[in-house]
């Protein structure tokens, strides 16, 4: 199934339930902890509302009118400066291995640049190997420790990309 059959667009209020299901499905699939991750994050149920703030955007990936993934950017919490965070990037299996992850990252980074951010931070889990590989491929570099305070204390892989 070619990547042309997928659409990247800004989130709408009607996408909240679908994207929360995508996020929680992928977290369970990966065997990630439900505590200290996006699984228990209150924002996961109100993604549209969460990104209705200055210098923030969330994109969904749609296939045949169904939300199959998403990724967003926003100012890194509890951090002064021009660093944004790549947030809640999750893709269902139907969307993997087609270059769509890189397209989602590039869309977020391009928007982040227009917002005036100079670097993009992310957190993930070490056993999410495909995600870590994708981030490395998109020029994210490993950090020795976390930046800001995202409250995702179960995530212990931290990466940064200059934009």
Domain harbouring 138, CATH code: 3.40.630.30
Picking from 125, 122, 97, 126, the residue whose alpha carbon sits closest to that of residue 112 is 122
Q: Determine if the pTM surpasses 0.85.
A: yes
pLDDT at 123 over 80: yes
Q: Which domain holds residue 92?
A: 3-162
Number of independent structural domains in the chain? 1
| Number of neighbouring beta carbons within 10 Å of residue 162 | 9
At residue 153, does pLDDT exceed 80?
A: no
Average pLDDT, the chain: 93
């Amino acid at each position: 199934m070619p990547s042309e059959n997928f659409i990247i667009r800004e989130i709408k209020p009607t996408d909240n339930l679908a994207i929360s299901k995508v996020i929680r499905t992928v977290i369970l699939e990966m065997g990630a902890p439900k505590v200290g991750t996006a699984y228990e994050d209150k924002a996961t149920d109100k993604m549209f509302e969460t990104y209705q703030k200055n210098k923030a955007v969330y994109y969904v990936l749609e296939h045949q009118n169904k939300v199959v993934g998403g990724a967003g950017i926003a100012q890194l919490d509890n951090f002064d400066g021009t660093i944004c965070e790549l947030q809640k990037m999750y893709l269902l299996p139907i969307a993997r291995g087609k270059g769509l992850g890189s397209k989602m990252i590039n869309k977020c980074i391009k928007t982040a640049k227009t917002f005036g951010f100079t670097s993009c931070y992310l957190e993930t889990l070490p056993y999410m190997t495909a995600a870590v590989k994708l981030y490395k491929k998109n020029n994210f570099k490993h950090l020795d420790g976390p930046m800001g305070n995202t409250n995702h204390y179960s995530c212990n892989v931290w990466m940064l990309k200059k934009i």
